[in-house]
Amino acid sequence: MVEKDTGGGMAAAPVLGQLQRILDSKEFDASDRNRRFLRYVVEEMVSGRGQRVKAYSIATSVFGRNESFDPQSDPIVRIEASRLRRSLDRFYLTAGRADPIRITIPKGSYVPNVELLAGKSRAGMSGTAKTDRDAASTETPGAFHSKLRRKVVTAAASLAAVSAMGLAIMWYGGHLQPSGGRGGDLAASRNGPAILVAPFENDSGMRENDVLVRGFTREVITGLTRFNGLFVFGPETSFKYGSQPDGLKAAPKLNADFMLTAGVTATSSTLRVTASLVDARSGQYVWSERFSADLVAAQIYSVRDRIADQVVRELAQPYGVIFQRKVQEIEGKPAESITSYECVLRFYQYWRSYLAELYAPVRECLERAVSVDPAYADAHASLAIVYVDAYRFNFGKADLAFDPMVRAHGLAERAVELAPYSAFSYHALHLVHWLMNNVDLSLAAGEKGLQLNPNDSSLMADLGLRYGVRGQWEKALPLLQEAYARNPAQPGQYRIAFFLNHYVKGRYEQALAEAKQLNAPNVAISHVALAVSYAQLGRIREAEAAVARILAIDPTYGDRAVDDLKMRNLYPDYIPLFVDGLTKAGLGAAKDARRGS
């Protein structure tokens, strides 16, 4: 028997005691701010102020948002509530499974529900109950396997609810297409490739795993929707068409470009997923990969999340499988027949190396895209970054009759308006604010974008770079290392942070090794990194050659080297170290800067 209460009929002390038990438990894996979130809503509820628990009060009291907070444009409370629900589910699947009081955050509300589970002993709150790992040492293998299967079914039912919440959030971002509609209508309403996720198959043959596998499908769909450049069919469409043959038959009507299929095997010790991407028009297999992880009952959620994230990243991240496939399709295509999405693809090709010869065609293509598709957020964000490059690299700046940063700021703001759930929109805004020397606003935009899509390795690397430039290495290095671990194909531009970390600490050989990987031959700062590294190692001839390349790009760089470093928001203590290196390399005016410092 379960007795439900929202705080009015149950004494406060037991509820607050259960709250503290949750917060003290190692199995409650919520972040610090979500722990504050839980404490706030429970304490408000037991104090009789449950009617005040709204998104606005949570955002301003817990997350530090100011009085202008608008829950319609800032989804932080909804996103963090979803994560908090998942952490609570995990706690009650593990350490709290025998507890007589259950605290939950119901969907559609932030006011907690308190449930008194009749018949449960308060001894269960002592924290001495054995974990599944402990139980495994005393149970027979068959008994433990059976227990784990029951746990998988319970956990999977909960994760399906959490996934549904995530899908609801992403639905309003405009990336998810419900079932129904004609293929031509769908094509007219989207930019970018469309992907249909076929229901993952339960390869273990055990019916008790069906719910887990179904929930896995939803989790991957949720992850894919976070990439604004993809058009992802919703779960209703996925489950409607069922198997791969049915999905491929439906592809022409849906105008799907790709179909993702997978088989999932769950045992008492392992979760294995074999995923394949199929060209929906030709039936050709584009990509296939196998993922696996060790599994114990207490780790069902984290293992599920980790594998789902791996699948999503392989497919959807910049320079990933889908990007490479679509780039191959547009090679040699005449400029006049390029679509708006293909303009964005060409932007990413340019962004990888900053080749000057690619700049003008990409800018022209994107200008046409925002004119033809004024509601296409990714085109606005891409064009904003292109104008940022006109300012910081002097690309095409002489041809402009306006301030490129003013234009970039307007485009980035518009991208956020069009796609407030898009990490790429916030990535553009992050870069615009950075070059406008609004460092705090820049970092806030980058953090928000990464919160919206934790799988965006490009934004993760860029944010790490900015923290490094400001000398905040405790934040910078973990972000950069994680970004390159998740996406080894990441452009070399972000490695300048690794160079900087070595250079300012006097590790010049390591700094040189990183400088050689920057792969931006038309950008002066990449040659600055080489020049100062060579100079500090006493390799003056090579340093002078790097200086010659700097001056070939920008003949006035020696006169404005310090201003350039300040424009990039370089930590002030690092600037004299660069002046010293450039002076040793023979860059003329840098010598005057050192004498005047």
pLDDT (0 to 100) of residue 13: 83
Query: Which of 460, 475, 501 corresponds to the end of one domain?
Result: 460
Residues 378 and 444 in one domain: yes
pLDDT (0 to 100) of residue 212: 78
Band of pLDDT at residue 4, cut at 50, 70 and 90:
very low
pLDDT exceeds cutoff 50 at 185: no
* pTM assigned to the model: 0.64
In angstroms, the CA 142 to CA 215 distance is 25
Residues 203 and 235 in one domain: yes
Name the one residue in this structure whose structure tokens are 């997350």.
63
Band of pLDDT at residue 481, cut at 50, 70 and 90:
very high
What percent of the chain has a predicted confidence (pLDDT) above 90?
49
Residues 240 and 294 in one domain: yes
In angstroms, the CA 476 to CA 480 distance is 6
* E strand or H helix at 261: strand 258-266
DSSP type of residue 131: P
Domain membership of residue 139 (yes or no) is no
In angstroms, the CA 370 to CA 382 distance is 10
Cα angle, residue 125 at apex, residues 121 and 126 outer, rounded to 5°:
110
In angstroms, the CA 579 to CA 561 distance is 8
Band of pLDDT at residue 106, cut at 50, 70 and 90:
confident
Q: Is the alpha carbon torsion for 504, 506, 508, 514 positive or negative?
A: negative
Task: Tokens for 106, please give them.
Answer: 């119901």
Residues 154 and 302 in one domain: yes
Domain membership of residue 46 (yes or no) is yes
| Contact yes or no for 561/582 (Cβ under 8 A) | yes
pLDDT exceeds cutoff 60 at 403: yes
More confident residue, 360 or 133: 360
In angstroms, the CA 386 to CA 58 distance is 38
In angstroms, the CA 174 to CA 190 distance is 9
pLDDT (0 to 100) of residue 74: 87
Domain membership of residue 289 (yes or no) is yes
Query: Which of 441, 460, 479 corresponds to the end of one domain?
Result: 460
* E strand or H helix at 440: helix 439-452
**Domain of 237?**
149-314
Residues 163 and 228 in one domain: yes
Residues 445 and 518 in one domain: no
DSSP type of residue 226: T
Band of pLDDT at residue 419, cut at 50, 70 and 90:
very high
Q: Is the alpha carbon torsion for 120, 124, 130, 133 positive or negative?
A: positive
The tens digit of pLDDT for each residue in 534-576 reads 999 999 999 999 999 999 999 999 999 999 999 999 999 999 9
Residues 159 and 189 in one domain: yes
| Contact yes or no for 230/175 (Cβ under 8 A) | yes
More confident residue, 119 or 395: 395
pLDDT exceeds cutoff 80 at 143: no
pLDDT (0 to 100) of residue 297: 62
Residues 154 and 293 in one domain: yes
Q: Is the alpha carbon torsion for 431, 471, 59, 10 positive or negative?
A: positive
Which of 34-38, 145-149, 544-548 has the weakest average pLDDT?
145-149
Domain membership of residue 142 (yes or no) is no
Report the mean per-residue pLDDT for the chain. Answer: 82
Four-point Cα dihedral 360, 366, 372, 377, nearest 10: -170
Which of 158-172, 256-270, 300-314, 346-360 has the weakest average pLDDT?
158-172
pLDDT (0 to 100) of residue 281: 83
pLDDT exceeds cutoff 80 at 87: yes
Count CB-CB contacts under 10 A for residue 401: 4
pLDDT exceeds cutoff 90 at 148: no
* E strand or H helix at 185: helix 183-188
pLDDT (0 to 100) of residue 533: 98
Band of pLDDT at residue 20, cut at 50, 70 and 90:
very high
Task: Tokens for 82, please give them.
Answer: 């979803």
Burial class (CB in 10 A: 0-12, 13-18, 19+), 117: middle
Task: Tokens for 569, please give them.
Answer: 């928001």
pLDDT exceeds cutoff 90 at 438: yes
| Contact yes or no for 41/85 (Cβ under 8 A) | no
Q: Which of 211, 187, 344 is nearest to 280 (CA)?
A: 187
Domain membership of residue 402 (yes or no) is yes
pLDDT (0 to 100) of residue 301: 63
Dmax (CA) for the chain in angstroms is 83
pLDDT exceeds cutoff 50 at 367: yes
3-state SS, residue 119: coil
Query: Which of 279, 314, 349 corresponds to the end of one domain?
Result: 314
Domain membership of residue 480 (yes or no) is no
Band of pLDDT at residue 246, cut at 50, 70 and 90:
low
pLDDT exceeds cutoff 70 at 593: no
Q: What average pLDDT does range 482-495 have in this prediction? A: 88
Residues 99 and 198 in one domain: no
In angstroms, the CA 241 to CA 579 distance is 64
Residues 276 and 335 in one domain: no
Domain membership of residue 349 (yes or no) is yes
- Interstrand relation of 258-266 and 194-197 (parallel, antiparallel or unpaired): parallel
Residues 234 and 88 in one domain: no
Number of domains in the chain: 4
The tens digit of pLDDT for each residue in 285-321 reads 889 999 998 877 667 767 877 899 899 999 998 888 9
Residues 214 and 189 in one domain: yes
Q: Which of 518, 525, 503 is nearest to 576 (CA)?
A: 503
Domain membership of residue 468 (yes or no) is no
Q: What average pLDDT does range 202-217 have in this prediction? A: 80
**The domain that contains 455 carries what CATH number?**
1.25.40.10
Q: What is the 3-state secondary structure (H, E, C) of 137-180?
A: CCCCHHHHHHHHHHHHHHHHHHHHHHHHHHHHHHHCCCCEECCC
